[in-house]
Structure 1
């Protein structure tokens, strides 16, 4: 959808600028201008000469800023979600072997986990899978040490 929007704007700027003493005279010029503007690089080698072209350019600029924000926000969201899953112990469950599954939760679970790790030097915190309905605020101190 976003790609189609920018293709439409590319053709719009080409039509608005063609034959008006503009540097945007070909499909490639319109493509180059749109890409350079959307990515906010803005070399300045090609600029619209008409009022209609400038209005379309403003839409391309705003669209570039908005789409960059949306895409970078989506990437950040995926990365944060992946890290949160890792912190909660959900990241690689299907590949787990030789692990310990602890079901339920009680206040002394943190010291129980510490005791398990102390008596099993070959075991790491990532070898323990917690299955519990405890709230994140309760689990965070335990999970942040993993």
Structure 2
């Protein structure tokens, strides 16, 4: 099931609004009848009281119509034609408003689903919206990816609601099932981020994605244990991040070299100061040393291989290289108006 982000009103608030509107409508009709009460005939022929006006308004709007009070003057009949009859239709719409709202919502959902399926392409699928999945989505959005280009696959109802609240499209189901991944348009995706809670589920998702895409989609998987990383790569993952080993190394750095952990946290935390970035080498930079560029270059990415600046092949920029550098990620101050 595909869930779209939506802002919903509470049921009590919706019912209260309909009830209030119905009461206002009844009171309006009562006033119209009361001011023209001489144009109505009662079976008792003693004239209409305020209570009679309420009685006539209620039985008329609810289409009960006992016939004991009838309009006889031209003005009363004209008011029934132009005002009370349309009000009766509106009153019935209010009574069945919940059903109409459900039908309308279903139609809108189907229409959104059709439009989404037509335009979704080159998107990123995130399997799992736990701590790792939310952090991955946050990084994607901070790097300029449109929220509409992110699709979350999740089974946990709480995580599904959280993803919807974050404005993301959610495919509710297990990412290990090919039908669920097809609903997420895995064949049209640019990348798959696998952030499940267990390594065995990650392996199964990776195998399923590779089977459906024939290796054409980039697969990035997270592994809890380092011993499972080779298995994920053999299953088809292009990149594997070992969360436990990474956390362990950071813990070790925080003990032996505390300033280094602050640098790493600065690089990983958006908006703090420094951030890692990558761009294509420009034509006028080909042949230059990475150290000659204005940015602080830390590595080159060439034909699927990372080249350190100490590597003999990384001393000169070539055509097609990707430059990995450190950029200033601090919020830019808005200049004061003169």
Gaps of 5+ in 2: 1-20, 110-155, 159-171, 186-338
Task: Give the 3 Å change call, closer, same or farther, for CA 43–131 of structure 1 in structure 2.
Answer: farther
Please state if 1:93 is matched with 2:157.
Answer: yes
The answer to whether the Cα contact below 8 Å between 1:33 and 1:46 also exists between their aligned partners in 2 is yes
Q: In structure 1, what is the Cα distance between the partners aligned to 2:85 and 2:77?
A: 10
| CA displacement at 1:3 relative to structure 2 | 2.9
Which structure would you say has the larger RCO, counting Cα contacts within 8 Å and 6 or more residues apart? 1
Give 3-state SS (helix, strand or coil) of 1:3's partner. helix
Please state if 1:33 is matched with 2:61.
Answer: no
Q: 2:174 matched to which residue of 1?
A: 102
Q: In structure 2, what is the Cα distance between the partners aligned to 1:21 and 1:64?
A: 18
The answer to whether the Cα contact below 8 Å between 2:30 and 2:57 also exists between their aligned partners in 1 is yes
Give 3-state SS (helix, strand or coil) of 1:42's partner. coil
Give 3-state SS (helix, strand or coil) of 1:47's partner. strand
Q: RMSD between aligned alpha carbons? A: 4.1
Give the TM-score taking structure 1 as reference length: 0.51
Give the TM-score taking structure 2 as reference length: 0.25
The count of aligned residue pairs is 103
Query: Which 10-residue stretch deviates more, 2-11 or 60-69?
Result: 2-11
Please state if 1:69 is matched with 2:93.
Answer: yes
Counterparts in 2 of 1:44-83, with a 5 A limit?
44-58=67-81, 59-72=83-96, 74-80=97-103, 81=105
Q: In structure 1, what is the Cα distance between the partners aligned to 2:28 and 2:174?
A: 56
**Residue 8 of structure 1 is aligned with which of 17, 24, 28?**
28
| CA displacement at 1:133 relative to structure 2 | 6.7
Q: In structure 1, what is the Cα distance between the partners aligned to 2:53 and 2:182?
A: 57
| CA displacement at 1:32 relative to structure 2 | 0.8
| CA displacement at 1:131 relative to structure 2 | 8.6
Higher helix proportion (structure 1 or 2): 1
Give 3-state SS (helix, strand or coil) of 1:22's partner. strand
The answer to whether the Cα contact below 8 Å between 1:9 and 1:56 also exists between their aligned partners in 2 is no
The answer to whether the Cα contact below 8 Å between 2:40 and 2:76 also exists between their aligned partners in 1 is no
| CA displacement at 1:56 relative to structure 2 | 2.1
Give 3-state SS (helix, strand or coil) of 1:40's partner. coil
Q: 1:134 matched to which residue of 2?
A: 184
Q: In structure 2, what is the Cα distance between the partners aligned to 1:2 and 1:21?
A: 23
Task: Give the 3 Å change call, closer, same or farther, for CA 6–133 of structure 1 in structure 2.
Answer: same
Q: Indicate the structure (1 or 2) with the bigger Cα radius of gyration.
A: 2
| CA displacement at 1:21 relative to structure 2 | 6.9
Q: In structure 2, what is the Cα distance between the partners aligned to 1:46 and 1:31?
A: 11
Gaps of 5+ in 1: 86-91, 95-99, 111-129, 136-146
Higher strand proportion (structure 1 or 2): 2
Q: In structure 2, what is the Cα distance between the partners aligned to 1:9 and 1:71?
A: 17
Give 3-state SS (helix, strand or coil) of 1:7's partner. helix
